[in-house]
């Protein structure tokens, strides 16, 4: 009988867990955005009518892997999109300048890569605004594209970005290179999934102990193979026809 009397209490605890603020945020990110205007501001891929692919690189700049990636892109005459982290721009300003000088597009990837779903609204906006200023010092204007860390964003944050004329760019092809995969695995993860209009997620910077050697080794093969298949490699703004 004692166990039977405990069942209602256990049920209440379970229900409370399901509807806790954390679970609501996690649930919201899995659901379609109900506001159609906001849905148009959250992009995962470009139009399938374009035989174009956008290569995007997150978490840079750094002084190990970003220069090697830039060398390859320069050699292959490819323009890519780099979603930069604010504190890394401060730490490696010359490499950040090189990204811009070599004609690549720069997007906002927050100041220090937090989970936006766990932040107060004012703190979230501060992450965007500080990084905007750092990017503006490089390019002369605030970026029009934003990529939230981990792809995580809630409707209120998306609404604020939309009001500020931003487009949130996610991806439909994940290389999973941040795990330190071998180049062959990264090549397969990309080439087996790309479609016309795909936005490919790669990384140009990593934390302490991280290894993006596989990315550097895979990149020439990915570029050559996509071109052999007839794809044009473009920046995100070019793919989506949005101003830079």
104 is a catalytic site residue: no
Whole-angstrom distance, CA of residue 100 vs CA of residue 87: 17
Whole-angstrom distance, CA of residue 32 vs CA of residue 37: 12
Written as six digits, the tokens of 61 are 């700049």
Which residue in 104, 109, 113, 203 is the catalytic one? 203
58 is a catalytic site residue: yes
3-class secondary structure for the chain?
CHHHHHHHHHHHHHHHHHCCHHHHHHHHHHCCCCCHHHHCCEECCCCCCCCEEEEEEEEECCCCHHHHHHHHHHHHCCCCEEEECHHHHHHCHHHHHHHHHCCCEEEECCCCCCCHHHCCHHHHHHHHHHHHHHHHHHHCCCCCEECCHHHCCCHHHHHHHHHCCCEEECCCEECCHHHCCCHHHHHHHHHCCCCCCCEEEEECCCCCCCCCHHHHHHHHHHHHHHHHCCCEEECHHHHHCCCC
Instruction: Find the angle CA(58)-CA(228)-CA(104) to the nearest 5 degrees.
Output: 30
Which residue in 58, 62, 177, 238 is the catalytic one? 58
Active site residues: 58, 203
């Amino acid at each position: 009988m004692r166990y039977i009397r405990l069942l209602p209490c256990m049920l209440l605890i379970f229900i409370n867990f399901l509807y806790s603020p954390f679970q609501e945020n996690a649930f919201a990110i899995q659901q379609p955005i109900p506001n159609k205007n906001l849905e148009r501001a959250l992009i995962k891929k470009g139009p399938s009518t374009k035989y174009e692919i956008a290569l995007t690189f997150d978490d840079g700049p750094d002084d190990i892997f970003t220069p090697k990636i830039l060398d390859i892109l320069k050699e292959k005459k490819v323009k890519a999109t780099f979603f930069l982290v604010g504190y890394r721009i401060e730490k490696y300003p010359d490499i950040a300048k090189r990204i811009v000088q070599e004609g690549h597009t720069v997007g906002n990837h927050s100041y220090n890569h937090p989970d936006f779903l766990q932040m107060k609204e004012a703190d979230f906006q501060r992450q965007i605004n500080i990084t905007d200023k750092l990017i503006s010092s490089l390019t002369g204007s605030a970026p029009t594209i934003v990529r939230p860390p981990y792809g995580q964003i809630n409707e209120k944050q998306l609404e604020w970005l939309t009001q500020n004329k931003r487009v949130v760019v996610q991806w439909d092809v994940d290389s999973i290179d941040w795990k330190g995969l071998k180049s062959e695995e990264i090549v397969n993860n990309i080439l087996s999934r790309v479609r016309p209009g795909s936005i490919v997620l790669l990384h140009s910077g990593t934390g302490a102990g991280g290894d993006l050697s596989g990315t550097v080794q895979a990149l020439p093969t990915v570029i050559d193979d996509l071109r052999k298949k007839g794809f044009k490699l473009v920046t995100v703004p070019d793919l989506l026809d949005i101003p830079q």
